[in-house]
Amino acid sequence: MTPDRPNRRGRAPDVPWLDPANGPRDWPLGYGGSLTPDLLRKAYAAGVFPWYNPGEPVLWWSPDPRAVIELDGLHVSRRLARTIRSGKFRTTVNQAFRDVMLGCGEYRAEGTWVHEEMVTVYTALHVAGDAHSVEVWAPTDSGAWELAGGIYGVAVGGLFAGESMFHRRTDASKVALATLVERLKARGFVLFDVQMTTDHTERMGATNISRAEYLARLRDAVALTHVRFADSASAPSSIAPDRGEQP
């Protein structure tokens, strides 16, 4: 169902959404516009993201509250830390971005918002150096390595906006998330946006903050124009378990 057209008051002339600071808390800020890399850059820098179904107008969201994972607040169990150290998985960065997006669409096949238009536009954003992926690989019986999970998102200054993740092997998405957080810390990022909490992200440490707080932190984060996600094929994996947690 297409929502009623929102009042244009507070909307900048070149974007299809209302000012997030004054927009609805649990309803789109606007809809329409062509999904392009340039418009996506403006959206993430403003605290807005697209979320819509194929064949429908692009819906632009900025929910209140907003879910984040504090970079020093990731929950890593002893079991997960052992899995990471064991060598059961290998991790890479920016080596299979499109495949990670397709995996996210496959994982959420019913009602997924990771559809072909999004794959095309976010891949273009990746080629431009603004969208990134962490891949998790697992060995097959033949000794080859296959994609077992991953996560992707968009970087703007010191903000990383996580979009979606998936797994085909147990713990692969958790390894991807833990690897991503370590990389964000190492590269100087200050804000990891996960948009809305899920059971999975809450177990890993996601918390809700008010949209007002999020937008204030976002302004500081996007001002860090020197921060780069970089394009190294190797990602750190020195993940420590939560102190005091039982194995």
**In terms of DSSP bridges, do strands 90-93 and 207-209 run parallel, antiparallel, or are they unpaired?**
unpaired
- pLDDT for residue 46: 98
Structure tokens at 240: 């420590």
**Has residue 212 been placed in a domain?**
yes
Please give the pLDDT value at position 112. Answer: 57
Residue pLDDT tens, the chain, 247 long: 334 344 444 555 589 999 999 999 999 999 999 999 999 999 999 999 999 988 899 999 999 999 999 999 999 999 999 999 999 999 999 999 999 999 998 855 444 568 899 999 999 999 999 999 999 999 999 989 999 999 999 999 999 999 999 999 999 999 999 999 999 999 999 999 999 999 999 999 999 999 999 999 999 999 999 999 975 434 444 444 444 333 3
Looking at residue 168, what is its pLDDT? 96
2 by Cβ neighbours in 10 Å (0-12 / 13-18 / 19+) ranks as exposed
Q: Which of 175, 177, 201, 182 is nearest to 79 (CA)?
A: 175
**Is 232 within a domain?**
no
Residue 13 domain flag: no
- Tell me: do 24 and 78 sit in the same domain: no
Q: Which long-range contacts (CB under 8 A, 24 or more apart) does 80-86 make?
A: 80/171, 80/174, 80/175, 80/178, 80/239, 80/241, 81/239, 81/240, 81/241, 82/241, 82/247, 83/171, 83/175, 84/175, 84/178, 84/179, 84/237, 84/239, 85/237, 85/239
> How far apart (Å, rounded) are the C-alpha atoms in residues 133 and 121?
15
Whole-prediction pTM: 0.88
Please indicate, yes or no, whether residues 77 and 34 belong to a single structural domain of this protein: no
Q: Which domain holds residue 201?
A: 67-222
Longest dimension (CA), the chain: 60
Q: Give the pair of three-digit tokens for residue 100.
A: 């990670």
Burial of residue 38, with CB atoms counted within 10 A of its CB: 0-12 exposed, 13-18 middle, 19 or more buried: exposed
Residue 50 in any domain: the answer is yes
- Domains identified in the chain, total number: 2
> In the prediction, which pLDDT does 54 show?
87
Same domain, 185 and 74: yes
Same domain, 187 and 96: yes
What does the pLDDT read at residue 24? 96
**One domain for residues 99 and 196:** yes
DSSP symbol at 9 = T
- Both 201 and 114 in one domain: the answer is yes
